[in-house]
Structure 1
Amino acid sequence: MADRVYLDWNATAPLRPEARSAMVAAMDAVGNPSSVHAEGRAAMAIIERARAQVAEAFGAVGADIVFTSGATEAAGLALAGRDLGGTGLEHDAVDAWLKRHGEDVVQFANSETGVLAQLPEAFWLCDATQAWGKLPIAFNWLGAQGALASAHKLGGPKGAGALVLKRGTEIPAQLIGGGQEMGRRAGTENVIGIAGFGAAAEAAQRDLEAGVWDRVEKLRTILEKGIAAASDQTIFVGKDAKRLPNTSCFATPGWKGETQVMSMDLAGFAISAGSACSSGKVKESRVLRAMGYDELTARSAVRVSLGPTTTQDEIERFVDAWGAACRKFRARAA
């Protein structure tokens, strides 16, 4: 596994060392954060430190940070009982809720294509899961009443997320009981996961301010030039639109996306044929179809997503491997 190259950062980012250290330290916090004794207060202090770290990193100081098990639960919490509509480009978790309950929901950055949305002046919910830490955005100027976040997209642990709400926003609790998280999400908090979330958010903001993603964007340019040189029939989705700096979605009509993913996996590269929440489903991309691409193109799309530790050598190796696989596909199709 040491020689493998990970190019699926939008599905999940590798755990940051800062998050790992915070989680290891939190494992020694024996108390229940709802307990009033010293041990309980120590556990609650870990949660509140993480809450402050997330608020600072997301430009949400003064907002309510409601910790959840991830962005999917946060979406359910924010959307329950509301008659809303979307664009058809939303993440599966949001799209499923929209189909069940009812344009007041915007995905800031699409996870499959990286394309950024044009935000209205005021709206209910912003799915900023992919945007946090990659773009200079702040919740307090988004114009949304709420926003979604997921720790593992930032290099934190899986199973921790948050719903960010403007102070005073009323939402019905979906999990009721002990009154944790300001009465909005009952149940003993995931202290270890929350600690990792806070540390990851803080580290991600440092990377952003240091210009790390500018370097990543340059690597994406190298990637796309290499793919284009290897195949003049390949289509780059959203190439002329504003995108996340790390995301490239491209389609070679007739060459199924899942076939490309398997071929690259055997060659030692992890890429995706869509968002991780759609994995295992052999079907066309709902997002690309909503963007107007035909079925053949939608079924042929793959996503390559880079991260702060991606190197130029890895990108060049991927381009060589993908180009060789493309030539084999062309030969078989001839």
Structure 2
Amino acid sequence: MPVTYLDSAATTPMDPRVCAAVADAMATVYGNPSSLYAAGRAAKAAVEKARRQVAALIGAKPEEIFFTSGGSESDNWALKGMALARRAAGQPCGIVTSAIEHPAVLRTCAWLEAQGIPVTKLPVDAEGLVSPEALDSVLDDASNDSASAVGIVSVMMANNEVGTIEPIAELARVAHVRGALFHTDAVQAAGHIPIDAQALGIDALSLTAHKFCGPKGVGALYVRRGVAIDPLIHGGEQERGLRAGTENVPGIVGLGCAAELAAAELVAEAERLKELRGLLASRVQAIPGCTLHQAEDDAQRLPGILNFGITGVRHDALLIRLDRAGFAISAGSACSAGSLEPSHVLAAMGVPSERAQEAVRVSMGRFTTRADVLTFADALAQTVTAMRNH
């Protein structure tokens, strides 16, 4: 049965143009980038081209881009690397993050807390927004206690479950006024909304290729020039001595190609996805008992994500029926699939547990069509009716 794929927030199909670039690199760019002979220099050139392409996507300098295995490694490296470097230098290294972060951030913070580094979680409002005023208050309280002095603030740029876009510029400004560094997990945002790391005041930023039609297993960490960060992976001198291991050249080429394509098509694609999201929202709201979980302001929502729940219809049963009908959607983060616990994001937004058990996420991408949305909306309405009549 053909599948209508509507889970692009979990991962995206690779763009055929990216596939071609990766295949060409696998066939022809076989050298080790650290080797000095011609094949090595060709591989090095391919890596550096990709570095420039990724930097252009987020408004950074090429030398501020470090390649990783993906978003989780980038988040781990950013938080562990900056916190441990600051602690070794005798600087404040406490961390403030939000209650709705991806597990890659929350579990890294839990590990750091076990190493004696204090961690504070900021609440969010009913729309999933972090308040700059709340951050300022927490930083003010921490400044009066040397044991919990904050050195790093980490707030995601856009949430992977409900699509809320956070006020990053304001949060970074508050962090800097208080002398803290600012990291953002931009895994869901990169390639989908404009990002200018320098203008936003970001000190470190995580991204991954497979969220914008690139290959899995490759990502990047932006570290602003002058920010001290310890290596996460020790060994050789790759990535200017900060991330050991022979580079994944085909993957990096794919990341670079995907970044260049996303940058060129970002504005038009965002408008197209907003239209599809609006169309889907209008259809699902016509189903009795439907509630949307999202920010009120359209400018604070990612173009392709719609999270909603239907009263009395549990998401697990709904997903199984829709899967059998040929539709791929999710109940939230792919990294939490299989968990019996309600979404920590919806819980932080004040959504009651029974409502959270009904929430599903539809996320559209580059290859989603209007016909896909209309076909899904019809199937959803029919499935809900059948479940209620069962």
Are 2:299 and 1:223 equivalent residues in the alignment?
no
- Equivalent residue for 1:12? 11
How many angstroms does 1:85 deviate by? 2.2
Give the TM-score of the pair, scaled to structure 2: 0.82
Separation (CA, whole Å) in 1 of partners of 2:342 and 2:160: 15
Cα 1:63/1:126, change in 2 over 3 Å: farther
The aligned amino acid for 1:169 is V
- Equivalent residue for 2:318? 260
Are 2:82 and 1:83 equivalent residues in the alignment?
no
- Equivalent residue for 1:196? 254
Extract unaligned runs of 5+ from structure 2.
85-92, 113-118, 120-134, 136-152
Secondary structure (helix, strand or coil) at the match of 2:285 reads helix
- Equivalent residue for 2:126? none
Higher mean C-alpha displacement, 127-136 vs 80-89: 80-89
Separation (CA, whole Å) in 1 of partners of 2:105 and 2:76: 8
The aligned amino acid for 1:305 is S
- Equivalent residue for 2:122? none
Deviations 1:227-286 (A, max 9, x none): 111x23111001514200110000123322222211111111110111111112233111
- Checking the alignment, whether the CA contact within 8 Å between 2:51 and 2:62 is kept in structure 1 is no
Separation (CA, whole Å) in 1 of partners of 2:62 and 2:210: 24
Deviations 1:123-161 (A, max 9, x none): 420111111111122112121210000000011100000
Deviations 1:141-198 (A, max 9, x none): 1212100000000111000001101112211101111111111110001001000000
- Equivalent residue for 1:110? 159
- Equivalent residue for 2:379? 321
Separation (CA, whole Å) in 2 of partners of 1:44 and 1:260: 49
Alignment of 1:29-44 (within 5 A): 29-44=29-44
The aligned amino acid for 2:241 is G
Are 2:244 and 1:186 equivalent residues in the alignment?
yes
- Equivalent residue for 1:304? 362
Separation (CA, whole Å) in 1 of partners of 2:316 and 2:353: 14
The aligned amino acid for 1:90 is E
Separation (CA, whole Å) in 2 of partners of 1:9 and 1:181: 30
Higher mean C-alpha displacement, 189-198 vs 300-309: 300-309
Extract unaligned runs of 5+ from structure 1.
none
Separation (CA, whole Å) in 2 of partners of 1:280 and 1:179: 39
Separation (CA, whole Å) in 2 of partners of 1:251 and 1:284: 13
Alignment of 1:47-126 (within 5 A): 47-61=47-61, 64-80=64-80, 81=84, 82-101=93-112, 102=119, 104-119=153-168, 120=171, 121=173, 122=176, 123-126=181-184
Separation (CA, whole Å) in 1 of partners of 2:269 and 2:359: 27
- Checking the alignment, whether the CA contact within 8 Å between 1:63 and 1:166 is kept in structure 2 is no
Separation (CA, whole Å) in 1 of partners of 2:295 and 2:76: 32
Deviations 1:179-230 (A, max 9, x none): 1111111000100100000000000111114x1210111111110111111x
Separation (CA, whole Å) in 2 of partners of 1:185 and 1:168: 17
Question: How many equivalent residue pairs?
Answer: 329
The aligned amino acid for 1:236 is L
Cα 1:280/1:30, change in 2 over 3 Å: same
Secondary structure (helix, strand or coil) at the match of 1:149 reads strand
Separation (CA, whole Å) in 2 of partners of 1:321 and 1:39: 53
Higher mean C-alpha displacement, 100-109 vs 142-151: 100-109
Cα 1:62/1:15, change in 2 over 3 Å: closer
The aligned amino acid for 1:168 is G
- Equivalent residue for 1:138? 196
Are 2:236 and 1:237 equivalent residues in the alignment?
no
Secondary structure (helix, strand or coil) at the match of 1:41 reads helix
Separation (CA, whole Å) in 1 of partners of 2:384 and 2:106: 33
Alignment of 1:20-31 (within 5 A): 20-27=19-26, 28-31=28-31
How many angstroms does 1:63 deviate by? 5.2
The aligned amino acid for 2:265 is D
Separation (CA, whole Å) in 2 of partners of 1:253 and 1:312: 26
Deviations 1:83-126 (A, max 9, x none): 31211110111111122222611111000000111221244201
Secondary structure (helix, strand or coil) at the match of 1:304 reads strand
- Checking the alignment, whether the CA contact within 8 Å between 1:228 and 1:234 is kept in structure 2 is yes
Give the TM-score of the pair, scaled to structure 1: 0.95
- Pairwise CA RMSD of aligned residues? 1.4
Percent identity, aligned pairs only, is 40
